[in-house]
Amino acid sequence: MTGTTGRRELVTDPRHGDVWIGIDLGTQSVRALAVTDDGQVVGRGSAPLTGHRERDRHEQLPADWWSGVRDALRGTLRTVAATRVRGLSVCGTSGTVLLTGPDGAPLTPALMYDDGRAGAEAVRAQEAGADVWRSMGHRIQPSWALAKLLWLTGAGAAPGTALRGARVCHQADFVTARLVGHPVPTDTSHALKTGYDLSSRSWPVAVHDRLGLAELDFPAVVLPGTPLGTVCAEAAEATGLAVSTPVVAGMTDGCAAQLGSGAWDIGQWNTVLGTTLVLKGVTAAPLHDPAGVLYSHLSPDGHWLPGGASSVGAGALTRAFPGADLAHLDRLAAHREPAGAVAYPLVSHGERFPFLAADAEPFVLGTPRDDADHYAALLQGVALVERLCLAYVGQLGAPVDRAVTFTGGATRSAYWNQLRADVLGRRATVPAQTDSALGMAVLAAHGVRRAATDAGRAGPDAPLSDLRAMVRVRTVLEPRPRVGARFQEPFVTLVDALEQRGWLPGPTAAYAREHG
C-alpha cells in the first residue's frame, strides 16, 4: 500500500512485513539483529569469540567466526520466520586480514584489527608507496592490513605454506563467502586499510609489485550495499536462513555503527565505544590528514565518512577490574568528578588515533585514592581522549559543533554516557539499539532496495534518509556546563603529558588546549 508520496507505508505490526538482518563480527562476540522497517527488533542472537593476545599480537581463528555466525543467526531466527528476511549484511573489524586458498579455506590465522607486530613492514609499505599514500591522505600503520600481509608472506609465513595465488581475505569477506557458497568481492570499506585507492577505485598494483605481493590474489572491490549473491543451501542448513536470501556487501564495524547511529548528515559525528574507541563523521568530500592517522571511507549514499580508531576504550575497565560489578563502580565514580588521578587508558600497546605512536603505553598521573577513584579515572580518561579526537578533526577543518551520537557496548552505562556528554560539552544522542549490527540491517535494506530499483523492478529507491525510521532514539543527553568545567584542568594535564612523551604533535596539543 502506498501513500500520496508514492513511498510504501511502514508496517507497524512486528509480526508482518520485511525484516533485515545485520551481523557484527566483534572482538569478543558475534551479534546478529533482525529489524523491521520501522526499527522494531524482532530477533537477536549472539555467540562468544575468543582469540590469542600476547603484547602486540592478536589473532583469531576464522573458523570460529563462522561457528559464531551460525549460532547467532539460529538464535535470531527463533523469533522471526526466515521467509520474512529480505536481506542481510556483515561488518567486521577494520584491518583484520588473513590469506585463504582459492576455495576460501584459511591458510593463515587472522591478524586482528589491533595486531601491531608488523611495525617494520608498515615502514616498508609506507616507503614503497609514499607518493600513492600521500595522494590518498594515508599513512600505513602497523595495524593496517597491508602491513600485515607483508608479515604473513614474510616473517609470519608458515613453513611449507604455498602462498602463490593465495587470496587476500578480510573478516567480513570470509563470512559472506560462506553464506553465498563461493569467494566474493570485498567492499571499499574493508579494502581501505589494504591500500585500495578510493579515488581511482583500483588496487595500487605497482606498489604491490615493489612489495613482492604481486603473486597474491587481491579480490575485486565493490561499493557497500552491492549484492554479493544469495544464501546457498549449505549455509541455509547451517544457519536457518532461507535459501536465496540476498547478501549484500558490508562495511567495517566503525562505519556500520555510523549507519546504525542515524548520524547520516554532513557535520554529524558518532563515537563507537566498545573495547576500543572509534570516531567517525560525515563530510561532503574526503578529509585530508597530512599525518595520515585519519582516513575517509565512502558512504553508501555518496558522502564520505572520515574517522579514526583509538586504542583507548572500555577494554581498560575489564582489564583493571575483571569480574567487578561495574554498575556499582559507576555509582561510586559519580562522586569522583574529577578523580584524584588522570589516566590514559590504552587497551593495547601503541596508539593509532588521534596520533600515531607505536611505543605508546597506558599511564596514570597521580595516585588513585582507592579502586573507585581508579575506576573513575579510567572512565574520565576515555572521555578526555574522545574530546581530544574531536579537537583533532576540528583542527583539520571539519565541522564538529553539532550534537554527537554514542553507540557501542559502553552505552549500557547511563552514567558514562552523561559523563562523556559533560566532558565533550555537547548534546549527545543514544539510539535505542547501539550495536553495529543495526547499521548492517540498514545497509541490507538500502542495498536490496537500491538493486531492485536499478533493475527496474517494483520497489522504492532507498536513500538513507528514507530508512531513518529504522533507527530509534533511546536517550538525548544535555551537557551540564558546571560539571564539564571540572574537567578542563584534567584535559590539559592529559594533553600536556601526551605531548611531553613525544606522542602528540605540538601543533595538535596547542590546538586542543585552545579549542578542545
Are 273 and 307 in contact, with CB atoms under 8 Å apart?
A: no
Coil/strand/helix, residue 127? helix
Q: How many CB atoms lie within 10 A of CB 17?
A: 18
CA distances from 144 to 97, 105, 239, 278, 378 (A): 9, 22, 31, 15, 27
Checking if the pLDDT of 148 tops 50, the result is yes
Residues in the chain: 516
pLDDT score of 333 more than 70? yes
d(CA 348, CA 362): 8
**Contact criterion met (CB below 8 Å) for 287 and 424:** no
Q: How confident is the model at residue 57 (pLDDT cuts 50, 70, 90)?
A: very high
Kindly state the helix (H) or strand (E) to which residue 168 belongs, with its residue range.
strand 167-170
| Confidence category of residue 459, pLDDT binned at 50, 70, 90 | very low
**What phi and psi values does residue 371 have, to the nearest 5 degrees?**
-60, -40
Task: Look at residue 138 in the predicted model and tell me its pLDDT.
Answer: 83
Residue at grid coordinates 533485515: 20
Per-residue pLDDT tens digits for 240-263: 999 999 999 999 998 998 999 999
Q: What is the pLDDT of residue 164?
A: 78
- C-alpha span between 331 and 348 (Å, rounded): 27
What confidence tier does 461 reach under pLDDT thresholds 50, 70, 90? very low
Q: pLDDT tens-digit profile of 157-213? A: 665 556 778 999 999 999 999 999 999 999 999 999 999 999 899 999 999 999 999
Average pLDDT over residues 60-81: 97
Q: In this structure, what are the phi and psi dihedrals at residue 217, rounded to the nearest 5 degrees?
A: -100, 100
Question: Residue by residue, what is the 3-state secondary structure of 50-93?
Answer: CCEEECCEEEECHHHHHHHHHHHHHHHCCCCCHHHEEEEEEEEC
Q: Which three cell numbers stand for residue 194?
A: 589494504
Q: Which pairs with CB-CB distance under 8 Å and at least 24 residues apart come from 316-325?
A: 316/343, 316/345, 316/346, 316/347, 316/362, 316/378, 316/381, 316/382, 317/345, 317/375, 317/378, 317/379, 319/347, 320/374, 320/375, 320/378, 321/371, 321/375
Please say if the pLDDT value at position 15 is more than 70.
no
- pLDDT grade, residue 16 (50/70/90)? low
Q: What is the pLDDT of residue 8?
A: 35
| Helix-, strand-, coil-residue percentages of the chain, each rounded to 5 | 35, 20, 40
Residues 429-446: tens digit of each pLDDT? 999 988 899 999 999 999
Collapsing DSSP to helix, strand or coil, 169 comes out as strand
Mean pLDDT of the chain: 92
b/e burial code for range 318-353 (CB count within 10 A of at least 16 → b): eebeeeeebeebbeebeebbbbebbbbbbbbbbbbb
The answer, yes or no, to whether residue 228 has pLDDT greater than 60, is: yes
pLDDT of residue 3: 36
Residue 162: predicted pLDDT: 60
Looking at residue 329, what is its pLDDT?
97
As a whole number of angstroms, the distance between CA 134 and CA 421 comes to 35
Among 147, 188, 182, which Cα is nearest to 167's? 182
So what's the pLDDT on residue 159?
A: 55
Tell which residue, 50, 28, 54, has the closest CA to residue 117.
54
Task: Tell me the CA end-to-end span of the chain in Å, nearest whole number.
Answer: 50
If one counts every other C-beta atom within 10 angstroms of the C-beta of residue 80, the result is: 20
Note the pLDDT tens digit of each residue in 279-327.
Answer: 999 999 988 898 888 989 999 988 999 999 999 999 999 999 999 999 9
Q: According to the model, what pLDDT value does residue 1 have?
A: 32
Give the per-residue pLDDT at 136: 85
Question: What domains lie within the chain, and their CATH numbers?
Answer: 19-250 (3.30.420.40), 262-434+479-510 (3.30.420.40)
Among the listed residues 233, 227, 222, 229, the one whose alpha carbon sits nearest the alpha carbon of residue 170: 222
Mean pLDDT of the 13-34 span: 88
DSSP for residue 468:
G
Contact 244, 231 (CB under 8 A): yes
pLDDT at 465 over 90: no
User: Which pLDDT tens digit goes with each residue over 397-426?
Assistant: 998 988 999 998 899 999 999 999 999 999
